[in-house]
Amino acid sequence: MKEPCLKTRTFFLKGSSNQFEWVLGLYDQALSLKAETKAKKQAKEVIKLDRWYQNELPRTLHTRLEDGTHLTYEEMVQTMKWKLARGKFRPNLVNLIQMNSQADVVKYTKEAFSTLGKNGDLQAAANILCNMKGVGPATASAVLAAGAPEVAPFMADECLLSMPGFAGGSIKYNMQEYLSFVDNINSCVERLNREGSTSPWTPHKVEQAIWTHYVAHKLQPELLDKIPPKSTGASKKSKSPLEPVEDSNGEVEKPSAKRRRREKE
């Protein structure tokens, strides 16, 4: 049974751009907390793999734009190891991914990124990647998020559990669930970018912020105690003095009876 995180869901739906930026700044701390839940040897590997996936792999893929963005066999195996290290370890998936040939990895990843670049069809690109052994929508999303973070978020469990509509139960890890996740993330990206920020929000950045909030709230909730209030420029809409107001976590606070009487005078 998977239970949704209502605090993170509220943050996802109500958090402002400056609050998202602040939470994203906690990513490394949240990653360290996540690593500490693993065995000592695995903990170091979590951080090492994440630095590779978040920093080195995107830079490498960017250098291959002219020849066609693609992953090598070693990079595909490493991506699977990253996904399993940060989530639930399933050794059978590593064995399956290692059964693919170098030629197939290059072929399918290059075709997927080409399709995504030509028509922006995320589903078609993910389906192409699923032709490889051991690759489903979640692993496909990890590949696409590394090479096209402006389009594709990674399908992390922590993020899925925080989405509107998830009421608990099993995560299905199918294409329909991923596309629904993408729609939710894109709506958030559009909202945050309308508010303005130091740099544009992308689906992958939003996904990282949601993951960070979920992990921090679960493993060390006091990390979130100093989340800043929404910036004054975050919303242009004025509120009636009698409307409920939101605190810095996006929770709704109803006006007290005393306040209502005072505001009516």
- What letters, b where the CB count within 10 A reaches 16 and e where it falls short, cover 103-126? eebbbbbbbbbebbeeeeebbebb
What is the pLDDT at residue 3? 72
Domain membership of residue 261 (yes or no) is no
Domain membership of residue 262 (yes or no) is no
Domain membership of residue 235 (yes or no) is no
What is the pLDDT at residue 264? 39
Neighbours of 262 (CB within 10 A): 11
What is the pLDDT at residue 248? 39
pLDDT cut 70: percent of the chain above it: 87
Domain membership of residue 1 (yes or no) is no
Cα dihedral 211→212→217→220 (10° resolution): 140
Tokens of 209: 């912020």
How far apart CA 227 and CA 221 sit, in angstroms, is 11
pTM above 0.75, yes or no: yes
What's the pLDDT band for 89 if we cut at 50, 70, 90? confident
How far apart CA 176 and CA 215 sit, in angstroms, is 25
Average pLDDT over residues 73-91: 91
Would you say 13 and 250 are in contact if contact means Cβ atoms under 8 Å apart?
yes
pLDDT(238) > 50: no
pLDDT(97) > 70: yes
Average pLDDT over residues 46-64: 97
Would you say 34 and 215 are in contact if contact means Cβ atoms under 8 Å apart?
yes
Where do the H-state alpha helices sit in 157-229?
157-160, 175-195, 203-219
Average pLDDT over residues 196-215: 95
Average pLDDT over residues 101-110: 98
173-192 residue pLDDT tens: 999 999 999 999 999 999 99
How far apart CA 9 and CA 22 sit, in angstroms, is 17
Would you say 97 and 132 are in contact if contact means Cβ atoms under 8 Å apart?
yes
What is the pLDDT at residue 251? 43
Number of domains in the chain: 1
How far apart CA 253 and CA 250 sit, in angstroms, is 9
What's the pLDDT band for 167 if we cut at 50, 70, 90? confident
Nearest one of 60, 69, 161 to 107, comparing CA atoms: 69
Domain membership of residue 242 (yes or no) is no
DSSP character at residue 13: H
Domain membership of residue 255 (yes or no) is no
Domain membership of residue 131 (yes or no) is yes
What's the pLDDT band for 155 if we cut at 50, 70, 90? very high
Neighbours of 64 (CB within 10 A): 16
Task: Tell me which residue range forms the domain holding 10.
Answer: 6-230
DSSP character at residue 246: E
Would you say 129 and 119 are in contact if contact means Cβ atoms under 8 Å apart?
no
252 sits in which H/E element: strand 252-253
Tokens of 26: 């906690």
Would you say 89 and 121 are in contact if contact means Cβ atoms under 8 Å apart?
no
What's the pLDDT band for 232 if we cut at 50, 70, 90? low
Average pLDDT over residues 234-255: 39
Domain membership of residue 202 (yes or no) is yes
Token pair 């544009």: residue: 200
